[in-house]
Amino acid sequence: MTVSYPRSGMSRPRIALLLLCACAAVFTAFALVRSTASPSGRLTVTSAQGPNPPVTLAQPLAGGERVSMSDAVSAWGGAIPLPDTPQVAASDVGTVWLNQVPGETKGDSQTAVGVTFPSQGLIIRYVRPGLPDPLAYFQAIDKLGLGSRLIWLDSSTPAVYTPGAADPADESEWGKMEIDAGGALIGVFGRSDEASLRAVALSIVNRASTSG
């Protein structure tokens, strides 16, 4: 897979949005991001599968490599807030994947971590830096009318939920929940229903706030 990133003349908010494109298979807003990117600053993602390959348990992070959890934590620069619910816990972690793109300055560096939970049919993707204005961005996704809708995990945490396909075995069409927590954009998706994905996402938000 070839991923090219713009290096100059880009603000931090634009870099964050373009990073979303690099993880487009995780996030539901790929079309919106591409439409707001300037012609000269577009991110190009290609692979043998064509653009935007589906995210699966076998390949949860486009352009990433498989690493140990300790290596992922080291690259992330701190604790990765894993979920802790009756459905899924840190002890259920399967493979871990990492993709890093160094920038010209520390603030421009981009890091993505993918964590799989095979037994639960769940994948969690963490992308840093997060969104400069999560609510505005999620509202924009909601207004696209493409099946994703804005919800609130609690009184202060917006999220976007996208229902999955009827066939739970189709990993490329699992349900998705997107949140912004701990300075990272996080995608939670799997074969679970909305209530289960909501519980996992809220657990991550709570753990991100306690871990700093």
Tens digit of pLDDT for each residue in 58-74? 989 888 999 999 999 99
pLDDT value at residue 131: 93
Q: What is the pLDDT of residues 150-180, one digit of tens each?
A: 999 999 999 999 998 877 677 778 899 999 9
- Structural domain contains residue 11: no
Q: What is the CATH number of the domain that holds 70?
A: 3.40.1000
Q: Does residue 144 contact residue 32 with C-beta atoms inside 8 Å?
A: yes
- Structural domain contains residue 142: yes
- Is residue 106 very low, low, confident or very high in pLDDT (cuts 50, 70, 90)? low
- Structural domain contains residue 50: no
Q: Which residues constitute the domain of residue 77? A: 55-211
Number of domains in the chain: 1
Output the six-digit token pair for 33: 């991001």
Rg (Cα) of the chain, in Å, rounded? 16
What percentage of the chain exceeds 90 in pLDDT? 56
- Structural domain contains residue 169: yes
- Structural domain contains residue 165: yes
The mean pLDDT value for 2-28 works out to: 40
- DSSP letters spanning 89-132: -GGG---EEEEEE--SSGGG-EEEEEEEEGGGTEEEEEEES--S
- Structural domain contains residue 129: yes
pLDDT value at residue 51: 42
